[in-house]
Amino acid sequence: MIPDEEDRRMAPTYGEWKTDFSEYVNYSRLNIIMLLSSCFETYLRTVVSLSFESKPGVIINCQDAVDGAALLKRDIMYGNMNDKSYRFGEVIEEVCRGEWANRFCAFQKYFGKLPPQLLDLSKDLDELRVTRNNLGHYFGRRKDVYSAPIDFEPIETTRISHERILKYFKLIYSAAKMIDGYLHKNIIGSYDIIKNISFHCQMVRY
């Protein structure tokens, strides 16, 4: 039973309820996109930061000049992104922000030539980025019609189909798999394992 004070929240007719439920489903899909994109961006920053820490020489185009694991063993704060002395904030931003065409350019500038199959995902990844930003900043509307509205009459939200959600799941899985495979093989190596062990030992010590 629905408490009397909550009656006003229920649609008075089946037709209105059906419309409301359709809007709820669409907003749920929009929120799934926000979650997917946020998880992917968090993953991307993590793997890119590990890459710079593992082989900092990539910044000056000398990939194997310095062993990041050796620097980590000398100073545990070397790999701490929350420490003020962390060295790689700006280059991480260069790779992890903005349009995907620019991200991939920065990616290849530091880490070498990427697989063509990954570069081919640029357009779809940018579509996801724009959709996510419109959701986060403009309530699921397009930026060009809702960033500075003349009035605040509601505008219909972006419609997201079930098929489009599945497309984004597949897109993120494919992109993450290729990025992970490339960076772990060519740049990161076992650095992430060494870093986790080092941080764990530091925590146990104190």
Mean pLDDT per block of 10 residues along the chain (206 residues) reads: 64 78 89 94 97 97 94 91 92 97 97 96 96 76 56 72 96 97 96 91 68
Instruction: Quote the pLDDT of residue 59.
Output: 96
Q: Is 2 part of a structural domain of the chain?
A: no
Q: Is 100 part of a structural domain of the chain?
A: yes
Instruction: Quote the pLDDT of residue 65.
Output: 93
Instruction: Quote the pLDDT of residue 142.
Output: 59
Q: Is 9 part of a structural domain of the chain?
A: no
Q: Is 108 part of a structural domain of the chain?
A: yes
Widest Cα–Cα separation across the chain = 71
Q: Are 182 and 118 in contact (CB under 8 A)?
A: yes
Q: Is 66 part of a structural domain of the chain?
A: yes
Tokens, residue 71: 């620097």
Domain that residue 86 falls in: 16-148+155-205
Instruction: Quote the pLDDT of residue 56.
Output: 97
Q: What is the pTM of this model?
A: 0.84
Instruction: Quote the pLDDT of residue 180.
Output: 95
Q: Are 59 and 91 in contact (CB under 8 A)?
A: yes
Instruction: Quote the pLDDT of residue 12.
Output: 72
Q: Is 3 part of a structural domain of the chain?
A: no
Q: How many domains are contained in the chain?
A: 1
Cα radius of gyration rounded to whole Å, the chain? 22
Burial of 184 from C-beta contacts in 10 A (0-12 / 13-18 / 19+): middle
Q: Is 26 part of a structural domain of the chain?
A: yes
Residue 157 region by backbone torsions, left for phi larger than 0, else alpha for psi between -120 and 50, else beta: beta
Instruction: Quote the pLDDT of residue 184.
Output: 95
Q: Is 182 part of a structural domain of the chain?
A: yes
Q: Rounded to an integer, what distance in angstroms lies between the CA atom of residue 60 and that of residue 160?
A: 43
Half-sphere exposure of 40 (CA within 13 A, CB side): 24
Which of 118, 88, 84, 117 has its CA nearest to residue 103?
118
